[in-house]
């Protein structure tokens, strides 16, 4: 993903720039993590987002993921799907 991808795509024009910066940081930092490190990483990211009062609608998440996946390799796309699933699972909490 290039630095400007999130900021220049017209599908994301209505999403707050602070949210896009947050997602960009999340994306680049997550690339450094192993699968074992991803869940704790996402839990800390979720806590940070809450502290910063950053919330994403389902529509925003879907648009952002769509844009990022379009410029990703198949391996990156698979990793994005995995990260998204782990993040969604962490938000649901235990049943």
Rounded to whole angstroms, the Cα distance separating 63 from 78 reads 17
The per-residue pLDDT for 15 is 93
Rounded to whole angstroms, the Cα distance separating 74 from 49 reads 28
Question: Could you read off the pLDDT of 10-35 as tens digits, one per residue?
Answer: 999 999 998 988 888 887 887 788 87
Instruction: Report whether 39 contacts 83 (CB < 8 A).
Output: no
Low-confidence ranges of the chain (pLDDT < 50): 95
The per-residue pLDDT for 10 is 94
pTM across the whole model: 0.71
Rounded to whole angstroms, the Cα distance separating 91 from 76 reads 22
Q: Is 69 exposed, middle or buried (0-12, 13-18, 19+ CB in 10 A)?
A: middle
């Amino acid at each position: 993903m290039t630095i400007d991808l999130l900021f220049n795509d017209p599908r994301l024009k209505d999403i707050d720039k602070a949210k896009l910066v947050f997602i960009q940081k999340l994306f680049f930092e997550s690339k450094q993590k192993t699968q074992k490190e991803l869940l704790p990483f996402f839990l800390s990211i979720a806590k940070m987002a809450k502290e910063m009062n950053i919330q994403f609608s389902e529509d925003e998440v879907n648009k952002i993921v769509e844009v990022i996946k379009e410029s990703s390799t198949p391996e990156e796309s698979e990793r994005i799907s995995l990260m998204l699933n782990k993040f969604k699972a962490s938000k649901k909490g235990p049943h």
